[in-house]
């Protein structure tokens, strides 16, 4: 067996132990590593020397919570740490839109079931999903069929996801009108609302009772799209559009929430 394969096997063995971190292997000098290979440890025997020193010699940040986080050193800074139950990434290396990204992401999501929490009823989980870029060709087809309008080119419209109470149609319409009015005040226009089709057959009774109605508003800059069913390609400022969308999201979320509470 070559030394490189031996090294790989050795690292696999030490990373399978709860009290060894893979990063510690970088702290070994060539001499130390060689001695470890020449003198394999017996089963159940703890590692000594440099590995033990690295394990117990970590410096901690006294200003972190309970002094439990490692201190900033080298390229590491615990301020950049982010927690998540489980995240996977799929991409098309050439940056081209592809349905295969979605199908691969679905397989990845199913493979991460063990990372999600479930209640007493295994059908009720803590939620999981796939986030993608805006599928322009798909939305273009949907808008023409359901909304009777033609979407402008990518980048000149936005799509949101808004969750409503499906049992109160009056309230739903009032909330949509509130959203539309706020958009108009900001120089935006809501082309229409698309009802997102869902399949709730897998849901348990607890989550089924709280399942929302999901609608997607298609929003454009009024000065660019104008009042018709097709864009007039008027003046367009990307930064202004993004700024107004941000204000719309914040203002609408606050206003609609206050209305619901009242």
Q: Please state, as a whole number, how many other Cβ atoms lie within 10 Å of the Cβ of residue 107.
A: 11
Could you report the per-residue pLDDT of 4-63, keeping only the tens digit for each? 444 444 334 433 333 333 333 333 333 444 443 444 444 444 444 444 445 567 788 888
Of the listed 30, 46, 85, 149, which one is catalytic?
85
Is 74 within the bounds of a domain? no
Please indicate, yes or no, whether residues 165 and 254 belong to a single structural domain of this protein. yes
Structure tokens that stand for 251 in this block:
């203002």
Tell me, yes or no, whether 76 lies in a domain.
no
Contact 190/218 with Cβ under 8 angstroms? yes
Could you tell me if residue 71 is inside a domain?
A: no
Supply φ then ψ for residue 164, to 5 degrees. Answer: -125, 160
CA distances from 22 to 4, 61, 69, 73, 75 (A): 16, 21, 18, 17, 16
Q: Which domain holds residue 162?
A: 134-261
Q: Are 139 and 256 members of one domain? A: yes
Would 224 be classed as within a structural domain?
Answer: yes
Going by pLDDT thresholds of 50, 70 and 90, the confidence category of residue 259 is low
Same domain as 232, residue 145: yes
- Structure tokens that stand for 169 in this block: 């149609």
> How many domains does the chain contain in total?
3
Residues 138 and 119 in one domain: no
Closest to 257 in 3D by CA, of 182, 158, 186, 157? 182
pLDDT tens figures, 126-177: 777 788 888 999 999 999 999 999 999 999 999 999 999 999 999 999 999 9
Is 216 a member of any domain?
yes
Is the domain of 147 the same as that of 255?
yes
Residue 85 falls in the annotated catalytic set: yes
């Amino acid at each position: 067996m070559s030394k490189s394969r031996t090294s790989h096997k050795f690292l696999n063995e030490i990373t399978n132990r709860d009290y060894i971190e893979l990063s510690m292997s970088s702290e070994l000098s060539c001499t130390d590593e060689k001695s470890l290979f020449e003198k394999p440890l017996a089963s159940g025997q703890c590692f000594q020397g440099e590995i033990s020193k690295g394990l117990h010699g970590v410096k901690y940040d006294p200003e972190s919570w309970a002094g439990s986080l490692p201190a900033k050193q080298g390229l590491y800074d615990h301020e950049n740490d982010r927690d998540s139950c489980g995240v996977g990434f799929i991409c098309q290396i050439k940056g081209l839109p592809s349905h295969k990204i979605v199908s691969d992401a679905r397989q990845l999501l199913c493979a991460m079931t063990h990372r999600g929490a479930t209640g007493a009823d295994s059908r009720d989980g803590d939620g999981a999903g796939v986030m993608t870029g805006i599928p322009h060709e798909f939305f273009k087809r949907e808008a023409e069929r359901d909304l009777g309008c033609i979407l402008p080119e990518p980048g000149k419209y936005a799509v949101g996801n808004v969750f409503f109470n499906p049992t109160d149609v009056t309230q739903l319409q009032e909330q949509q009108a509130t959203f539309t009015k706020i958009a108009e005040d900001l120089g935006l226009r809501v082309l229409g609302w698309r009802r997102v089709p869902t399949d709730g057959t897998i849901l348990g009774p607890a989550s089924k009772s709280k399942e929302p109605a999901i609608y997607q508003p298609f929003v454009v800059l009024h000065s660019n799209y104008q009042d018709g069913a097709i864009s007039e390609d008027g003046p367009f400022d990307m930064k202004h559009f993004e700024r107004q969308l941000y204000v719309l999201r914040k203002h609408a979320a606050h206003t609609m929430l206050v209305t619901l509470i009242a």
